[in-house]
Protein backbone atom coordinates (compact mmCIF):
# COMPACT_ATOMS: atom_id res chain seq x y z
CA UNK A 1 0.00 0.00 0.00
CA UNK A 2 3.00 2.34 -0.02
CA UNK A 3 3.05 4.01 -3.41
CA UNK A 4 6.00 5.41 -5.35
CA UNK A 5 5.57 8.81 -3.65
CA UNK A 6 5.90 7.37 -0.15
CA UNK A 7 2.20 7.98 0.46
CA UNK A 8 0.37 5.66 2.84
CA UNK A 9 -3.11 5.26 1.48
CA UNK A 10 -6.00 2.92 2.11
CA UNK A 11 -8.24 1.94 -0.77
CA UNK A 12 -11.81 2.33 0.52
CA UNK A 13 -13.75 1.92 -2.72
CA UNK A 14 -15.60 -1.37 -2.34
CA UNK A 15 -14.42 -1.86 1.24
CA UNK A 16 -16.97 -3.97 3.09
CA UNK A 17 -18.28 -3.17 6.56
CA UNK A 18 -16.25 -4.52 9.46
CA UNK A 19 -12.62 -4.64 10.56
CA UNK A 20 -9.78 -4.40 8.04
CA UNK A 21 -6.09 -4.40 9.06
CA UNK A 22 -3.10 -3.18 7.07
CA UNK A 23 0.61 -3.40 7.83
CA UNK A 24 3.25 -1.15 6.29
CA UNK A 25 7.02 -0.98 6.50
CA UNK A 26 8.64 2.28 5.51
CA UNK A 27 11.59 4.56 6.19
CA UNK A 28 11.65 8.13 7.44
CA UNK A 29 12.95 9.26 4.05
CA UNK A 30 9.68 8.07 2.44
CA UNK A 31 7.88 10.98 4.14
CA UNK A 32 10.16 13.63 2.60
CA UNK A 33 10.01 15.62 5.81
CA UNK A 34 13.02 17.36 7.38
CA UNK A 35 11.79 16.64 10.93
CA UNK A 36 11.96 12.91 10.21
CA UNK A 37 15.29 13.16 8.37
CA UNK A 38 17.13 13.27 11.70
CA UNK A 39 19.63 10.46 12.38
CA UNK A 40 17.30 9.22 15.14
CA UNK A 41 14.85 7.83 12.58
CA UNK A 42 17.31 5.68 10.62
CA UNK A 43 15.63 2.32 11.28
CA UNK A 44 12.58 0.75 9.67
CA UNK A 45 9.21 2.16 10.72
CA UNK A 46 6.37 -0.33 11.18
CA UNK A 47 2.86 1.04 10.70
CA UNK A 48 -0.29 -0.91 11.57
CA UNK A 49 -3.61 0.53 10.50
CA UNK A 50 -6.95 -0.90 11.64
CA UNK A 51 -10.04 0.34 9.80
CA UNK A 52 -13.56 -0.31 11.09
CA UNK A 53 -16.11 0.64 8.48
CA UNK A 54 -19.82 1.05 9.14
CA UNK A 55 -22.58 2.46 6.96
CA UNK A 56 -22.14 6.03 8.26
CA UNK A 57 -18.50 6.28 9.32
CA UNK A 58 -15.06 4.78 9.26
CA UNK A 59 -12.76 4.63 12.30
CA UNK A 60 -9.03 4.46 11.59
CA UNK A 61 -6.54 3.46 14.31
CA UNK A 62 -2.89 4.13 13.47
CA UNK A 63 -0.04 2.55 15.43
CA UNK A 64 3.62 3.25 14.64
CA UNK A 65 6.68 1.42 15.98
CA UNK A 66 10.35 2.02 15.40
CA UNK A 67 13.67 1.92 17.20
CA UNK A 68 15.22 5.37 17.29
CA UNK A 69 18.84 6.16 17.99
CA UNK A 70 19.47 9.08 20.36
CA UNK A 71 22.16 10.30 22.70
CA UNK A 72 21.50 10.67 26.42
CA UNK A 73 20.75 14.27 27.41
CA UNK A 74 22.78 13.77 30.62
CA UNK A 75 25.94 11.95 29.57
CA UNK A 76 25.74 12.04 25.73
CA UNK A 77 26.16 8.26 25.46
CA UNK A 78 24.39 6.73 22.43
CA UNK A 79 21.25 4.75 23.20
CA UNK A 80 18.35 3.16 21.38
CA UNK A 81 14.71 3.57 22.36
CA UNK A 82 11.64 1.87 20.99
CA UNK A 83 9.08 4.48 20.02
CA UNK A 84 5.41 3.59 19.84
CA UNK A 85 2.68 6.00 18.81
CA UNK A 86 -1.09 5.66 18.53
CA UNK A 87 -3.63 7.90 16.84
CA UNK A 88 -7.35 7.55 16.09
CA UNK A 89 -9.35 9.21 13.32
CA UNK A 90 -13.05 9.07 12.52
CA UNK A 91 -14.25 9.75 8.99
CA UNK A 92 -17.96 10.50 8.58
CA UNK A 93 -19.36 9.68 5.17
CA UNK A 94 -21.31 12.45 3.47
CA UNK A 95 -22.58 13.12 -0.02
CA UNK A 96 -21.04 16.60 -0.16
CA UNK A 97 -17.73 15.85 1.57
CA UNK A 98 -18.22 18.53 4.25
CA UNK A 99 -19.43 18.35 7.81
CA UNK A 100 -22.33 20.58 8.75
CA UNK A 101 -21.36 20.99 12.40
CA UNK A 102 -18.06 22.22 13.79
CA UNK A 103 -15.50 19.41 13.89
CA UNK A 104 -12.10 18.72 15.41
CA UNK A 105 -8.93 17.29 13.86
CA UNK A 106 -9.83 13.69 14.67
CA UNK A 107 -13.28 13.86 13.11
CA UNK A 108 -13.30 14.46 9.36
CA UNK A 109 -15.74 14.40 6.51
CA UNK A 110 -15.23 11.95 3.67
CA UNK A 111 -17.08 11.86 0.38
CA UNK A 112 -18.99 8.58 -0.08
CA UNK A 113 -17.52 8.25 -3.56
CA UNK A 114 -13.90 8.59 -2.43
CA UNK A 115 -11.58 5.88 -3.72
CA UNK A 116 -8.69 6.17 -1.26
CA UNK A 117 -7.81 7.86 2.02
CA UNK A 118 -4.33 9.35 2.31
CA UNK A 119 -2.96 8.82 5.84
CA UNK A 120 0.63 9.95 5.23
CA UNK A 121 0.35 13.18 7.22
CA UNK A 122 -1.39 11.40 10.11
CA UNK A 123 1.34 8.73 10.26
CA UNK A 124 4.03 11.44 10.16
CA UNK A 125 2.37 13.28 13.07
CA UNK A 126 2.06 10.05 15.05
CA UNK A 127 5.79 9.42 14.61
CA UNK A 128 6.71 12.93 15.69
CA UNK A 129 4.44 12.78 18.73
CA UNK A 130 6.03 9.50 19.84
CA UNK A 131 9.47 11.14 20.03
CA UNK A 132 10.36 11.85 23.68
CA UNK A 133 11.07 15.42 24.73
CA UNK A 134 13.95 14.34 26.99
CA UNK A 135 16.09 11.31 26.28
CA UNK A 136 17.98 9.81 29.22
CA UNK A 137 19.50 6.45 30.05
CA UNK A 138 17.03 3.86 31.33
CA UNK A 139 18.28 4.13 34.90
CA UNK A 140 20.89 6.21 36.69
CA UNK A 141 23.24 3.25 37.11
CA UNK A 142 23.48 2.92 33.31
CA UNK A 143 24.24 6.61 32.84
CA UNK A 144 27.98 7.36 32.78
CA UNK A 145 27.35 10.64 34.57
CA UNK A 146 26.45 8.72 37.75
CA UNK A 147 29.16 6.06 37.58
CA UNK A 148 31.98 6.49 40.12
CA UNK A 149 34.86 5.86 37.71
CA UNK A 150 33.37 8.09 35.01
CA UNK A 151 35.61 10.80 33.55
CA UNK A 152 32.72 13.18 34.08
CA UNK A 153 32.73 12.46 37.81
CA UNK A 154 36.51 12.83 38.03
CA UNK A 155 36.22 16.36 36.66
CA UNK A 156 33.42 17.07 39.12
CA UNK A 157 35.51 15.89 42.09
CA UNK A 158 38.42 18.15 41.15
CA UNK A 159 36.02 21.09 41.03
CA UNK A 160 34.80 20.49 44.59
CA UNK A 161 38.12 21.69 46.04
CA UNK A 162 38.30 24.88 43.95
CA UNK A 163 38.43 28.25 45.77
CA UNK A 164 35.37 29.68 44.04
CA UNK A 165 33.35 26.64 45.08
CA UNK A 166 34.40 27.11 48.73
CA UNK A 167 33.40 30.79 48.63
CA UNK A 168 30.00 29.84 47.23
CA UNK A 169 29.52 27.33 50.04
CA UNK A 170 30.28 30.05 52.60
CA UNK A 171 27.67 32.33 50.99
CA UNK A 172 25.15 29.51 50.99
CA UNK A 173 25.39 29.26 54.79
CA UNK A 174 24.49 32.94 55.37
Domain count of the chain? 2
Within this chain, do residues 40 and 27 fall inside the same structural domain, yes or no?
Answer: yes
Within this chain, do residues 21 and 34 fall inside the same structural domain, yes or no?
Answer: yes
Exposure letters 36-53 (e unless 16+ CB within 10 A, then b): beeebbeeebebebebeb
Within this chain, do residues 19 and 56 fall inside the same structural domain, yes or no?
Answer: yes
pTM for the model stands at 0.72
89 against 164, higher pLDDT: 89
1, part of any domain = no
2, part of any domain = no
123, part of any domain = yes
76, part of any domain = yes
Within this chain, do residues 123 and 150 fall inside the same structural domain, yes or no?
Answer: no
Within this chain, do residues 126 and 159 fall inside the same structural domain, yes or no?
Answer: no
Within this chain, do residues 54 and 132 fall inside the same structural domain, yes or no?
Answer: yes
pLDDT tens sequence across 44-74: 999 999 999 999 999 999 999 999 988 888 8
Within this chain, do residues 24 and 94 fall inside the same structural domain, yes or no?
Answer: yes
Query: What is the rounded distance in angstroms from the CA atom of residue 10 to the CA atom of residue 19?
Result: 13
Query: What is the rounded distance in angstroms from the CA atom of residue 92 to the CA atom of residue 144?
Result: 52
User: What is the domain extent for residue 160?
Assistant: 141-174
167, part of any domain = yes
Number of H helices, E strands in the chain: 3, 7
Within this chain, do residues 170 and 127 fall inside the same structural domain, yes or no?
Answer: no
4, part of any domain = no
Other CB atoms within a 10 A radius of the CB of residue 75 amount to 17
pLDDT tens sequence across 73-122: 888 888 889 999 999 999 998 876 555 455 577 888 888 888 999 999 99
DSSP state of 52: E
Within this chain, do residues 133 and 154 fall inside the same structural domain, yes or no?
Answer: no
Within this chain, do residues 44 and 78 fall inside the same structural domain, yes or no?
Answer: yes
3, part of any domain = no
56, part of any domain = yes
Task: Give the pLDDT of residue 122.
Answer: 92
Within this chain, do residues 147 and 126 fall inside the same structural domain, yes or no?
Answer: no
Amino acid sequence: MVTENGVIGIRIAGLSEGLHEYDFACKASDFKNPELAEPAFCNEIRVRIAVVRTEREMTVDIETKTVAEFSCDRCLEPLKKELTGKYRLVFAFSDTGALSEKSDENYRALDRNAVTVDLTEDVRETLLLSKPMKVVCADKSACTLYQENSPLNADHESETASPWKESLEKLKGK
